[in-house]
Protein backbone atom coordinates (compact mmCIF):
# COMPACT_ATOMS: atom_id res chain seq x y z
CA UNK A 1 0.00 0.00 0.00
CA UNK A 2 1.22 3.55 -0.71
CA UNK A 3 2.57 5.45 2.28
CA UNK A 4 0.77 8.47 3.65
CA UNK A 5 4.11 9.85 4.78
CA UNK A 6 7.57 8.76 3.79
CA UNK A 7 11.03 9.95 4.84
CA UNK A 8 13.82 8.66 2.61
CA UNK A 9 17.44 9.05 3.71
CA UNK A 10 16.80 12.24 5.64
CA UNK A 11 19.67 14.26 7.06
CA UNK A 12 18.48 17.52 8.53
CA UNK A 13 19.27 20.11 11.18
CA UNK A 14 19.70 23.80 11.80
CA UNK A 15 21.95 25.61 9.35
CA UNK A 16 25.17 23.64 9.01
CA UNK A 17 24.44 21.59 12.15
CA UNK A 18 23.18 18.14 11.26
CA UNK A 19 20.87 16.60 13.88
CA UNK A 20 19.02 13.81 12.02
CA UNK A 21 21.12 11.33 10.08
CA UNK A 22 19.90 8.87 7.48
CA UNK A 23 16.35 8.68 8.80
CA UNK A 24 14.04 6.36 6.86
CA UNK A 25 10.44 6.16 7.99
CA UNK A 26 7.20 5.23 6.33
CA UNK A 27 3.70 5.67 7.76
CA UNK A 28 0.79 3.94 6.01
CA UNK A 29 -2.62 5.59 5.52
CA UNK A 30 -4.53 5.34 8.79
CA UNK A 31 -1.49 3.98 10.64
CA UNK A 32 -0.53 5.29 14.09
CA UNK A 33 3.05 5.18 15.34
CA UNK A 34 4.87 6.44 18.42
CA UNK A 35 8.33 8.00 18.47
CA UNK A 36 10.22 7.93 21.75
CA UNK A 37 13.69 8.91 22.92
CA UNK A 38 15.55 10.95 25.52
CA UNK A 39 15.72 14.74 25.68
CA UNK A 40 17.60 16.24 22.77
CA UNK A 41 17.79 13.15 20.52
CA UNK A 42 15.94 14.92 17.69
CA UNK A 43 12.24 14.08 18.16
CA UNK A 44 11.06 17.66 17.65
CA UNK A 45 13.59 18.08 14.83
CA UNK A 46 12.00 15.07 13.11
CA UNK A 47 8.52 16.65 13.23
CA UNK A 48 9.96 20.07 12.29
CA UNK A 49 11.61 18.48 9.26
CA UNK A 50 8.29 16.98 8.16
CA UNK A 51 6.78 20.48 8.54
CA UNK A 52 9.66 22.10 6.60
CA UNK A 53 11.10 24.11 9.49
CA UNK A 54 14.64 22.71 9.36
CA UNK A 55 17.54 22.71 6.92
CA UNK A 56 17.38 19.58 4.77
CA UNK A 57 20.86 18.29 3.94
CA UNK A 58 19.87 15.07 2.17
CA UNK A 59 16.85 12.94 1.42
CA UNK A 60 13.22 13.46 0.64
CA UNK A 61 9.92 13.75 2.49
CA UNK A 62 6.81 12.68 0.57
CA UNK A 63 3.12 12.94 1.41
CA UNK A 64 0.81 10.57 -0.48
CA UNK A 65 3.70 10.04 -2.89
CA UNK A 66 4.23 13.76 -3.60
CA UNK A 67 7.60 15.27 -2.64
CA UNK A 68 7.40 18.09 -0.10
CA UNK A 69 10.99 19.31 -0.50
CA UNK A 70 11.12 23.10 -0.67
CA UNK A 71 7.42 23.49 0.17
CA UNK A 72 6.76 26.09 2.88
CA UNK A 73 5.17 25.05 6.15
CA UNK A 74 1.71 26.52 5.46
CA UNK A 75 1.46 24.58 2.19
CA UNK A 76 2.33 21.36 4.00
CA UNK A 77 -0.52 22.11 6.41
CA UNK A 78 -2.87 22.71 3.47
CA UNK A 79 -1.67 19.46 1.89
CA UNK A 80 -3.00 17.58 4.94
CA UNK A 81 -0.40 17.57 7.73
CA UNK A 82 -1.80 18.62 11.11
CA UNK A 83 0.75 19.69 13.72
CA UNK A 84 0.44 19.91 17.50
CA UNK A 85 3.69 21.64 18.54
CA UNK A 86 5.52 20.95 21.79
CA UNK A 87 4.94 24.58 22.86
CA UNK A 88 1.20 24.30 22.00
CA UNK A 89 1.28 27.76 20.37
CA UNK A 90 -2.19 28.87 21.31
CA UNK A 91 -2.97 32.47 20.28
CA UNK A 92 -3.09 34.12 23.74
CA UNK A 93 -5.26 37.10 22.80
CA UNK A 94 -7.83 35.11 20.84
CA UNK A 95 -10.71 33.25 22.46
CA UNK A 96 -10.95 29.47 22.35
CA UNK A 97 -13.66 29.84 19.70
CA UNK A 98 -11.45 32.15 17.60
CA UNK A 99 -8.41 29.87 17.97
CA UNK A 100 -10.56 27.09 16.51
CA UNK A 101 -12.34 29.15 13.84
CA UNK A 102 -9.16 30.37 12.18
CA UNK A 103 -7.94 26.79 11.73
CA UNK A 104 -11.16 25.10 10.62
CA UNK A 105 -11.45 23.63 7.15
CA UNK A 106 -14.25 21.47 5.76
CA UNK A 107 -14.13 17.74 6.44
CA UNK A 108 -15.18 15.06 8.88
CA UNK A 109 -13.77 16.93 11.89
CA UNK A 110 -16.34 19.58 12.86
CA UNK A 111 -16.57 21.91 15.86
CA UNK A 112 -19.27 19.62 17.33
CA UNK A 113 -17.00 16.60 16.99
CA UNK A 114 -14.04 18.22 18.74
CA UNK A 115 -16.33 19.47 21.56
CA UNK A 116 -17.55 15.92 21.97
CA UNK A 117 -13.90 14.80 22.26
CA UNK A 118 -13.02 17.69 24.62
CA UNK A 119 -16.22 18.74 26.47
CA UNK A 120 -14.07 21.04 28.61
CA UNK A 121 -13.32 23.24 25.58
CA UNK A 122 -17.01 23.69 24.88
CA UNK A 123 -17.32 25.24 28.37
CA UNK A 124 -14.42 27.61 27.71
CA UNK A 125 -15.31 28.99 24.28
CA UNK A 126 -15.23 32.64 25.32
CA UNK A 127 -12.06 32.37 27.43
CA UNK A 128 -8.92 33.89 25.98
CA UNK A 129 -6.02 31.59 25.11
CA UNK A 130 -3.98 33.02 27.98
CA UNK A 131 -6.75 32.19 30.47
CA UNK A 132 -6.46 28.45 29.93
CA UNK A 133 -4.71 25.88 32.10
CA UNK A 134 -1.86 23.85 30.60
CA UNK A 135 -4.19 20.90 30.05
CA UNK A 136 -6.83 23.07 28.39
CA UNK A 137 -4.17 24.61 26.12
CA UNK A 138 -3.10 21.14 25.08
CA UNK A 139 -6.71 20.17 24.31
CA UNK A 140 -7.12 23.35 22.27
CA UNK A 141 -3.92 22.72 20.36
CA UNK A 142 -5.07 19.19 19.44
CA UNK A 143 -8.62 20.34 18.65
CA UNK A 144 -7.27 23.09 16.41
CA UNK A 145 -5.09 20.64 14.48
CA UNK A 146 -8.03 18.22 14.05
CA UNK A 147 -10.24 21.01 12.68
CA UNK A 148 -7.77 21.51 9.82
CA UNK A 149 -8.97 18.02 8.79
CA UNK A 150 -5.53 16.55 8.25
CA UNK A 151 -4.77 13.16 6.74
CA UNK A 152 -1.82 12.84 9.12
CA UNK A 153 -1.50 14.33 12.59
CA UNK A 154 1.90 15.02 14.18
CA UNK A 155 1.84 15.48 17.97
CA UNK A 156 4.90 16.58 19.95
CA UNK A 157 4.80 15.38 23.57
CA UNK A 158 1.14 16.14 24.26
CA UNK A 159 1.35 14.77 27.82
CA UNK A 160 4.39 16.89 28.78
CA UNK A 161 3.84 18.82 31.99
CA UNK A 162 0.37 17.42 32.63
CA UNK A 163 -0.76 16.02 35.99
CA UNK A 164 -1.13 12.20 36.05
CA UNK A 165 -4.93 12.39 35.98
CA UNK A 166 -4.77 14.53 32.82
CA UNK A 167 -2.22 12.18 31.24
CA UNK A 168 -4.75 9.36 31.74
CA UNK A 169 -7.57 11.44 30.26
CA UNK A 170 -5.44 12.40 27.26
CA UNK A 171 -4.44 8.76 26.74
CA UNK A 172 -8.15 7.99 26.43
CA UNK A 173 -8.52 10.73 23.81
CA UNK A 174 -5.50 9.37 21.91
CA UNK A 175 -7.06 5.90 21.90
CA UNK A 176 -10.23 7.37 20.40
CA UNK A 177 -8.20 9.15 17.71
CA UNK A 178 -6.37 5.94 16.91
CA UNK A 179 -9.72 4.26 16.30
CA UNK A 180 -10.33 6.75 13.45
CA UNK A 181 -9.21 4.60 10.54
CA UNK A 182 -8.86 7.58 8.17
CA UNK A 183 -6.27 9.44 10.24
CA UNK A 184 -2.54 8.61 10.40
CA UNK A 185 -0.81 9.76 13.59
CA UNK A 186 2.82 10.25 14.57
CA UNK A 187 2.91 10.64 18.35
CA UNK A 188 6.18 11.89 19.85
CA UNK A 189 6.35 11.10 23.56
CA UNK A 190 8.82 10.97 26.44
CA UNK A 191 6.30 8.99 28.42
CA UNK A 192 7.14 5.56 27.00
CA UNK A 193 4.20 3.90 28.79
CA UNK A 194 1.76 6.23 27.01
CA UNK A 195 3.60 5.71 23.71
CA UNK A 196 3.76 1.91 23.89
CA UNK A 197 0.07 1.71 24.83
CA UNK A 198 -0.92 4.07 22.05
CA UNK A 199 0.31 2.27 18.94
CA UNK A 200 1.31 -1.24 17.87
CA UNK A 201 4.47 0.22 16.29
CA UNK A 202 7.13 2.29 18.04
CA UNK A 203 10.20 4.07 16.69
CA UNK A 204 13.11 4.89 19.02
CA UNK A 205 15.43 7.77 18.19
CA UNK A 206 18.89 8.13 19.66
CA UNK A 207 21.36 10.83 18.69
CA UNK A 208 19.44 11.67 15.54
CA UNK A 209 19.19 8.10 14.27
CA UNK A 210 16.45 5.49 14.35
CA UNK A 211 17.70 2.67 16.59
CA UNK A 212 14.43 0.68 16.70
CA UNK A 213 11.38 0.49 14.46
CA UNK A 214 9.11 -2.37 15.41
CA UNK A 215 6.49 -3.78 17.72
CA UNK A 216 5.52 -1.83 20.81
CA UNK A 217 4.39 -4.97 22.57
CA UNK A 218 7.79 -6.66 22.58
CA UNK A 219 9.37 -3.50 24.03
CA UNK A 220 6.71 -3.23 26.72
CA UNK A 221 7.43 -6.85 27.66
CA UNK A 222 11.21 -6.24 27.95
CA UNK A 223 11.89 -3.11 30.05
CA UNK A 224 15.63 -3.83 30.15
CA UNK A 225 15.89 -3.82 26.35
CA UNK A 226 13.75 -0.69 26.21
CA UNK A 227 16.05 1.11 28.66
CA UNK A 228 19.10 0.06 26.64
CA UNK A 229 17.60 1.25 23.37
CA UNK A 230 16.59 4.57 24.88
CA UNK A 231 20.11 4.83 26.23
CA UNK A 232 19.22 4.99 29.91
CA UNK A 233 21.39 1.91 30.51
CA UNK A 234 24.74 1.81 28.69
Answer for which of 22, 24, 40, 116 binds ligand ATP (CB under 6 A) is 40
3-state secondary structure of 174: helix
Q: Hey, which residues between 87 and 146 contact ligand ATP (CB under 6 A)?
A: none
Judged by CB under 5 A, the residue of 6, 44, 54, 192 near Mg ion is: 44
Closer to Mg ion by CB, 96 or 186: give it: 186
Minimum gap (Å) between residue 211 Cβ and Mg ion: 17
- DSSP 8-state class, residue 95: B
Classify the C-alpha dihedral 174-200-157-29 as positive or negative: negative
For residues 105 and 91, what is the distance between their CA atoms, to the nearest angstrom?
18
Q: Which stretch binds Mg ion (CB under 5 A): 44-52, 58-66, 145-153, 161-169?
A: 44-52
Across the beta sheet with 184-189, what order do the strands follow?
Answer: 81-84, 152-156, 184-189, 32-36, 201-206, 209-215
Name which position in 19, 25, 61, 140 contacts ligand ATP (CB under 6 A): 19
Site for Mg ion in 91-110 (CB under 5 A): none
SS3 state at 57: strand
Stretch that binds ligand ATP, among 34-42, 70-78, 99-107, 147-155 (CB under 6 A): 34-42
37 binds ligand ATP (CB under 6 A): yes
In this chain, which stretch among 19-27, 37-45, 121-129, 133-141 interacts with Mg ion, using CB under 5 A?
Answer: 37-45
CA–CA separation, 24 and 17 (whole Å): 19
Q: For residue 115, count other CB atoms closer than 10 A to its CB.
A: 16
- From the CB of 154, what's the least distance to ligand ATP, in Å? 12
Which among 182, 105, 198 has a CA at the least distance from the CA of 144?
105
Strand residues in 28-183 grouped as ranges (E): 32-36, 55-63, 66-67, 81-84, 152-156
Q: Which residues form the interface with Mg ion (CB under 5 A)?
A: 43-44, 86
List residues binding ligand ATP (CB under 6 A). Answer: 14, 17, 19, 37, 39-45, 86, 190
Amino acid sequence: MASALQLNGISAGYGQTVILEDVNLSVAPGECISVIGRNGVGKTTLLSTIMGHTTLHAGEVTLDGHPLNGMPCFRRALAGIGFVPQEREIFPSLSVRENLDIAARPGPWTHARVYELFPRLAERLDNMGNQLSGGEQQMLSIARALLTNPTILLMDEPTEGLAPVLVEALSGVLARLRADSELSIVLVEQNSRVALNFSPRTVILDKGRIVYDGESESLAADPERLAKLIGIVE
